[in-house]
Amino acid sequence: MTAHRILSWSPSAIVFDCDGTLMDTERHWQEARNLTFRAFGLKPPAGFADRAKGMHYTECGALMAEETGKPGLVGELTDTLLSTFTTLVDQDPVTMPGAASLVRLASRHRPLAVASNCPREMVESCLYRAGLLDCFGHVVVAGGEVRPKPEPDVYAVAARLCGVPPEEALAVEDSLTGMESARRAGLRVIGIGPCPPGPEAEKADLWVASLADGELLSWARTRIGE
């Protein structure tokens, strides 16, 4: 475990994932996937939610089509997935525990960015409704030449826009896909959630149960809020 790489260090910039890290939207993705499967008369394959976590929505739509043997429905599944998710989030935007207080503390002392696989309008709408959008100098999303996670692009671009080398930036992530992206871009990583067994544990330098973790908050007050 490399927790000392975080706890004994002060980042020059912080890049947050949005889904499942700042905003409690993973449940919305789960419901949107289930509703989309149902709308086309399809049954979710066993373990699909785990395989889809952290995926770009276009990749998720393609996986839905592949795993249900309906390759001709890729476009329709993808469009329905996104529109269903957008509706669900608009109805019930909720921040993750500890996210708002940590972001507001950090924004007073460091440049912040968001790196997400979600569409820009969705990320900005969620953060705006949560009262957090103004805390971020940059919102980087996949699209065009910026490849989605697990490719390193969104994190590499976010660090550059914050004006710091990747090795001086911290990524905050809840998905292994996102952690791989940040790690490949050269950032140090805080992982949110239970530490997985085996090699996947090394995708984050420090694991915390949530952004309300006491050790994390103490570190943030002394190493960021200085």
Q: Per residue in 43-92, pLDDT tens?
A: 999 999 889 887 889 999 999 999 999 999 999 999 999 999 988 888 88
Task: Note whether 192 and 21 are within 8 A (CB).
Answer: yes
- Kindly report the pTM of this predicted structure: 0.83
Give catalytic status of residue 19 as yes or no. yes
Task: Note whether 179 and 203 are within 8 A (CB).
Answer: yes
What is the model's pLDDT at position 225? 76
Q: Where does the pLDDT of residue 94 fall: very low under 50, low under 70, confident under 90, or very high at 90 and above?
A: confident
Task: Note whether 15 and 158 are within 8 A (CB).
Answer: yes
What is the model's pLDDT at position 3? 86
184: amino acid identity, one letter = R
Q: Where does the pLDDT of residue 226 fall: very low under 50, low under 70, confident under 90, or very high at 90 and above?
A: low
Give catalytic status of residue 17 as yes or no. yes
What is the model's pLDDT at position 129? 85
In the chain, the percentage of residues whose pLDDT exceeds 70 is 99
